[in-house]
Structure 1
């Protein structure tokens, strides 16, 4: 895992080779985290944490983003005072070809049923 910089503003992320399938699947198994990933994929760009209107407390939202970051699903970077989140689709596709696309397609089909 990349260590935080001396500034304390850089967050640790697993390097590509450290991303584990079971961690990714765990991160995507939660409905709120899957919702975050779906929104990031739909936007196709980095979004700040405040761009997400999740029906949970701020501390729970922070927890969900941390799980996504530590599993290697998203990359979080500070730009000014905003913490931006980007989907690590390239890393996930390199390690697990097609997994993210299939999960997002399945989530879309499920959302259409409920």
Structure 2
């Protein structure tokens, strides 16, 4: 999924076209659902918005008016919208586990 558009100014034509293409591609990948998780700053992928509104889509409007949530913008994979997760070994969080083990050993053992 093309993610370059999210870093452009929201008023630019390229951003608006990117937002429309994102919603259209997401709907296709997810089997044309009647609603879609909205990744805008306010909804933050917690709220479903209808995808069958005409002439514009609510999710597209939210992305253009409010912008995309910064955390979602930086994600490597937008799997909530049909993007394929990257197959890579994940050692994310190993530092947290090590810190927790040190804390537990120091205070509870």
TM-score (norm 1): 0.29
> Greater strand percent: which structure?
1
The structure showing larger relative contact order (alpha-carbon pairs under 8 Å, at least 6 residues apart) is: 1
Question: When you count helix as a share of all residues, which structure comes out higher?
Answer: 1
**Bigger radius of gyration among the two:** 2
